[in-house]
Structure 1
């Protein structure tokens, strides 16, 4: 931990741990589940290997991340959040929602990763908005994630679900406007902002369940 604000303050301690470059995004990706070093690197385009190594080492030293034996075929080691680290999940969700309030569309140099899409869906979920158990597969540009909602609970992850989803959504840059309620499901389909495979009624359920407001005053895209 190179940042030391020399204050006996919980916020200063948190900033010292998570304020290093890429640290928050490493933790964000690990909130979705254990990851191999290679998977973390591929899911964080642009992170230098040396920086990722340093961040993981620092997060381990602080008791936020731990190494575990991989259960997947091939064995090896995965990185996972400790119980202490997992306490950051709702905090990061709230922080992500706060940041997304002034994000209407990605800038030309910005990318959407599968992990950022999955985390955004988790942060956007409104418990109880939909009671029927429903699974949606969402694809936005190169990113793919899925969400299984069941009343008060939602499970998200990258890629595609093992079971056949109730709805598949293919979205472009305006997908964010659908989550903000600036486009209705019908308008999103008519305008080409999204294409769906499945019942239109499930898209309406999806929009009720996942919502992140958008400020009227937008500072940056």
Structure 2
């Protein structure tokens, strides 16, 4: 494990960048916000990262108290990485970066990779103020679920949520991209028929009536 580099500046922003400023670290946090992940799953959902760099960043995150590693009980018996409470506190940091980066998103380039769950954080932002609950999201790129308002644990996950969700959203990639760019409000997209909302939960009703 390499020693942590430092800006050697007595400034909280500089100290934060000492910990999370290396390339890939915050994107690993983005992936671990989905809950415990195996190394192979992390590597698959971080296209472009080398195995050596990913292993190094995960070790750094363990050292700095952002993530931990544990072995799943049989029959899984695999090691998984997961965020600590300190690591999960980076959620609003990633959300703020996402808002700032909306102007940088532009059109999708032919070389750009995409995963359905990368839209999870923009949708969480769009759902702020609508209430708390579990939301299934269906996109052309794949399905995932959100835990809106969750104060601990995972904030999203691949596939439908276990159990009955509070709402189900169905939308196309164009609408989801517009939400991610900040070009349309979620409630406006629901009202215009660009997002279908199903379910009998309080959150579904709030979205339909909003």
Which of 27, 30, 55 lines up with 1:28 in the alignment?
Answer: 30
Task: Specify whether residues 130 and 63 from structure 1 end up closer, same or farther in structure 2 by C-alpha distance, changes over 3 A only.
Answer: closer
Query: Is 1:69–1:78's contact at 8 Å kept on the other side of the alignment?
Result: yes
Tell me which residue corresponds to 1:144. Answer: 143
Tell me which residue corresponds to 2:84. Answer: 82
Gaps of 5+ in 1: 209-221
Gaps of 5+ in 2: none
Can you list the C-alpha shifts for 1:1-35, whole angstroms capped at 9, x where unaligned? 55421212221122122121111101111122111
Task: Specify whether residues 28 and 184 from structure 1 end up closer, same or farther in structure 2 by C-alpha distance, changes over 3 A only.
Answer: closer
Aligned counterparts, 1:87-106, within 5 A = 87-106=89-108
2:135 matches 1:135 = yes
2-side partners of 1:82 and 1:148: how far apart?
Answer: 18
Task: Specify whether residues 56 and 17 from structure 1 end up closer, same or farther in structure 2 by C-alpha distance, changes over 3 A only.
Answer: same
Displacement, 1:104?
Answer: 4.8
Q: What SS does the aligned partner of 2:178 have? A: helix
Task: Specify whether residues 148 and 53 from structure 1 end up closer, same or farther in structure 2 by C-alpha distance, changes over 3 A only.
Answer: closer
Displacement, 1:101?
Answer: 4.7
Q: How many residues matched?
A: 197
1-side partners of 2:134 and 2:176: how far apart?
Answer: 19
Query: Is 1:114–1:159's contact at 8 Å kept on the other side of the alignment?
Result: no
**TM superposition score normalised by structure 2:** 0.75
2:162 matches 1:162 = yes
Can you list the C-alpha shifts for 1:48-84, whole angstroms capped at 9, x where unaligned? 1111001001111111111112257421211111222
2-side partners of 1:91 and 1:169: how far apart?
Answer: 27
Task: Specify whether residues 97 and 158 from structure 1 end up closer, same or farther in structure 2 by C-alpha distance, changes over 3 A only.
Answer: farther
Query: Is 2:62–2:68's contact at 8 Å kept on the other side of the alignment?
Result: yes
Query: Is 2:136–2:143's contact at 8 Å kept on the other side of the alignment?
Result: no
Tell me which residue corresponds to 1:215. Answer: none
Query: Is 1:105–1:174's contact at 8 Å kept on the other side of the alignment?
Result: no
**TM superposition score normalised by structure 1:** 0.72
Q: What SS does the aligned partner of 2:100 have? A: helix
2-side partners of 1:140 and 1:12: how far apart?
Answer: 40
Report which stretch shifted further, 76-85 or 34-43: 76-85
- CA-based RMSD of the aligned residues comes to 3.3
Can you list the C-alpha shifts for 1:97-146, whole angstroms capped at 9, x where unaligned? 2222543542332232244222332333313x257x563323243x4321
Query: Is 1:167–1:203's contact at 8 Å kept on the other side of the alignment?
Result: no
Tell me which residue corresponds to 1:37. Answer: 39
